[in-house]
């Protein structure tokens, strides 16, 4: 087994903050390596869920970690956790990349008159299969979560209206949406 394949020890918030401080104060390469080993797989998973391919994920992780190295002195433990700071950097870099790619793609698109607006038979089948998978996944959610998801996404009701109509606090609605979305992601990532 190569060292990269070895399990990475857990990293708590206090230790992560200490590692960032060591990078900021002394350019500690071991502290940076520890942060990289722990966060790189998590960042890759995060970026993959955002729809980035393997190559883009690797580039964005490198850019994120380079930013962490360069701006470690700007990290403020009072403002939030290291994980929040790093994922925010990563998310922002991903947004920037999408914007750049969007500008490039916009110039490469054929004129709208050349695009056939009717869906292909293959597209229809895939759409129906996806819809069926989502409905099966929704059936596996607890009823409270399914109700909130249904109102939020199918009825497109704002969360404040959902809270009023169900007679529950807004925080509960937000929590149920978050829990339901996490569970749906898990269910939809499982092989059919």
Residues 140 and 185 sit within 8 Å (Cβ to Cβ)? no
- Number of Cβ within a 10 Å radius of residue 168: 15
Range of the domain at 172: 121-189
Residues 164 and 156 sit within 8 Å (Cβ to Cβ)? no
Q: Same domain for 97 and 142? A: no
Q: Same domain for 143 and 177? A: yes
Is 24 contained in some domain?
yes
Identify which of 88, 185, 100 has the alpha carbon closest to the alpha carbon of residue 134: 185
pLDDT tens for the chain, residues 1 to 192: 334 444 678 888 899 999 999 999 999 999 999 999 999 999 999 898 888 999 999 999 999 999 999 999 999 888 888 988 999 999 999 999 988 887 765 565 556 555 555 566 666 676 677 777 777 888 888 888 888 887 877 767 788 888 888 889 999 989 988 998 888 888 877 765
Is 5 contained in some domain?
no
Q: How many structural domains compose the chain?
A: 2
Dihedrals φ, ψ of 50, to 5°? -85, -5
Q: What is the CATH number of the domain that holds 179?
A: 1.10.10.10
Q: Same domain for 49 and 137? A: no
Q: Same domain for 172 and 127? A: yes
DSSP letters for 12-52: -HHHHHHHHHHHHHH--HHHHHHHHHHHHHHHHHHHHHTT-
Q: Same domain for 169 and 90? A: no
């Amino acid at each position: 087994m190569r060292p990269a394949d070895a399990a990475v020890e857990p990293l708590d918030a206090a230790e992560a903050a200490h590692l960032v401080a060591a990078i900021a104060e002394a350019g500690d390469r071991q502290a940076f390596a520890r942060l990289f080993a722990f966060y790189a797989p998590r960042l890759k998973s995060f970026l993959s869920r955002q729809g980035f391919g393997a190559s883009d994920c690797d580039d964005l992780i490198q850019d994120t970690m380079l930013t962490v190295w360069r701006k470690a002195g700007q990290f403020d433990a009072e403002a939030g956790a290291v994980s929040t700071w790093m994922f925010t950097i990563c998310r922002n870099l991903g947004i920037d990349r999408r914007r750049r790619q969007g500008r490039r793609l916009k110039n490469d698109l054929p004129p709208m008159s050349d695009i056939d607006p009717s869906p292909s038979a293959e597209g229809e089948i895939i759409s129906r299969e996806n819809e069926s998978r989502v409905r099966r996944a929704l059936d596996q959610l607890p009823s409270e979560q399914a109700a909130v998801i249904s109102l939020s996404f199918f009825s497109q009701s704002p969360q404040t209206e959902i809270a009023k109509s169900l007679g529950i606090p807004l925080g509960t609605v937000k929590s149920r949406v978050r829990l339901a979305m996490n569970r749906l992601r898990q269910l939809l990532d499982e092989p059919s």
